[in-house]
Amino acid sequence: MLPFLLSFLIAQSSPTTAPSEEVLQSQEVRPLPGQLDTVPTFNSNSPELILKEGILLSTFPPNGKKVPTAHLNFPFRGRFDIFAHHVAKAEPPENLRSLYLGIILHNPGSELVKVDIWQAASYLSQPDAPFIQLPSFSQNPLGKIFAGPGDRVMTDILRGQRQGIFPDQIEIPPGESRMLLNLPIPVQGLTPLLNGRSTLIRLQSSGIVYAASLAMFARVNPDGSERSPNLQEWENILDNGDLASPRDKTPTPLEETGKPRIYGRVAGVVRGSRWRALLVDNPKSRYLTIPQPGQMFSYALSTLHGGTLGTGQIQSATMLVRYPDTAYRAHGNYGIQYSLKLPLYNNTQSPQTVSVSMQTPLKEDRLVQPGLRFLNIPAREVFFRGTVRVRYRDEQNQPKTEFIHLVQKRGQAGEPLVSLNMKAGDRSLVEIDFLYPPDATPPQVLTVSTQAESR
């Protein structure tokens, strides 16, 4: 599931070192409590690489459209999210026109519809958020640490921000359409001639709207300069265009086929925007008992078919509508927020040091041995790159909020997000929030560990 944008990132990574050895971390792996909410997410990620103009994802009704199969007929009303993640490439190399990404909203009703934009961000990989090498663990209080556009977008949304290029509200008259996004993915002057754009928008609509993401090359003025497409030109693509190409790899069925698994990329409406979970001992409990000294347990994150880490739990969001040649589920849950509460309880008779970590073990479906497998020297491929918000109370019982940027490679055990000195009988609430970033590769785990007693 390594994305296209990572192909040149890996080429820039550090030289090959000594062979890695697997390390088994003996522990219990638990399914994640809670579930995704029912807020629909418009998820436009296929094809990731766009070489020709066309429709990326349309939830418009097929009536009156030249290519009815390009339209999935899904109305939005109330809360919904829009996620888009696409790449442009100069092909052939002399074709340096900017590719524009357009997101259009349509009001099919007889009354004015108001669409409130709660949070929103859209960034390019060049120059907004280049893929740079970063430490595995960085304090990120101002949100200025990121590598890649998906990372930067998710950091902004986690912090509740709306980028200045977005208004706080769009009004759509009856029977009309408005552009929510009309931005370029330029390639001129870049090496390689490749660029990407990631976008996430959280919305609230007063009435029914349809949405579509579209790709069109910049229009050319008489003097040879570029201009952005206008609403009429976008509507023409929507009404008369076909699905953009080339298409991504067609996914294999979710059931085991004995053949290599192809997850495919997502193009459709996903069921869910946020996974809320209260991590406790059992459904009737109000707290999470810490592990015994020297022990640990983990909760699986972003599990998917073929990668449940022995839990049997599939967290990948279901598709409400999709194109037949795209992913069967939202593998990776890009743009979906995890909000996890851990009401920790020290039930021992002595003080304990307890830490909470995010980790990226080797992907497994069924655990051959009880525990998770890591690499003593993590692989070169970055599997998670994003900011995590941690809230807790310090030893003076003062509330603390920290934003921590993580870069984890395949097989990396990771460092503690927070370490607490808990007295005997103490209870302490830890809250973890993050948006699963594009360019990440699942699964991960959230691990609670208790330091071994010194002898």
Residue 172 sits at the vertex; the CA angle it makes with 336 and 54, to the nearest 5 degrees, is 60
E-assigned strands of 225-351?
226-227, 267-271, 274-278, 288-289, 296-301, 317-322, 329-330, 337-345
Neighbours of 364 (CB within 10 A): 17
Rounded Cα–Cα distance for residues 226 and 213 (Å)? 21
pLDDT of residue 256: 73
Please count the residues of the chain.
455
Rounded Cα–Cα distance for residues 408 and 378 (Å)? 8
Tell me if 307 sits within 8 A of 362, measured CB to CB. Answer: no
E-assigned strands of 156-232?
169-172, 177-185, 194-217, 219-220, 226-227
Which residue blocks in 346-390 are alpha helix, DSSP H? none
Tell me if 408 sits within 8 A of 359, measured CB to CB. Answer: yes
Query: Where do we find the tokens 């406790």?
Result: 280
For the chain, the domains span 19-35+274-450, 47-240
Q: Which helix (H) or strand (E) holds 381?
A: none
pLDDT of residue 370: 87
Tell me if 193 sits within 8 A of 187, measured CB to CB. Answer: yes
Transcribe 29-75 into DSSP letters: EEPPPSEE-S-EEEEE-SSSEE-S-EEEEE-S--TT-SSGGG-----
Rounded Cα–Cα distance for residues 199 and 267 (Å)? 14
E-assigned strands of 221-304?
226-227, 267-271, 274-278, 288-289, 296-301
Q: Is 150 helix (H, G, I), strand (E, B) or coil?
A: helix
> Which residue from 36, 59, 45 is spatially nearest to 208, judged by alpha carbons?
59
Q: Is 8 helix (H, G, I), strand (E, B) or coil?
A: helix
Tell me if 120 sits within 8 A of 335, measured CB to CB. Answer: no
Rounded Cα–Cα distance for residues 16 and 268 (Å)? 39
Q: Is 236 helix (H, G, I), strand (E, B) or coil?
A: helix
- Mean pLDDT, consecutive 10-residue stretches, the chain (455 aa), reads 45 56 94 97 98 98 98 98 97 94 98 98 97 97 97 98 98 98 97 96 98 97 94 98 96 85 96 98 96 97 96 97 97 97 97 98 91 95 97 94 98 96 97 96 98 79
> Which residue from 437, 338, 326 is spatially nearest to 383, judged by alpha carbons?
437
**Contacts for 66 with CB less than 8 Å, ≥ 6 apart:** 239, 240, 241, 242
Rounded Cα–Cα distance for residues 402 and 377 (Å)? 28
Q: What's the pTM?
A: 0.94
Burial class (CB in 10 A: 0-12, 13-18, 19+), 324: exposed
Tell me if 8 sits within 8 A of 125, measured CB to CB. Answer: no
User: CA of 176: how far to CAs of 64, 103, 208, in Å?
Assistant: 15, 14, 12
Query: Where do we find the tokens 């002057």?
Result: 189
285: amino acid identity, one letter: S
Tell me if 354 sits within 8 A of 450, measured CB to CB. Answer: yes
pLDDT of residue 17: 57
pLDDT of residue 198: 98
Query: Where do we find the tokens 């927020």?
Result: 337
Query: Where do we find the tokens 């609670």?
Result: 448
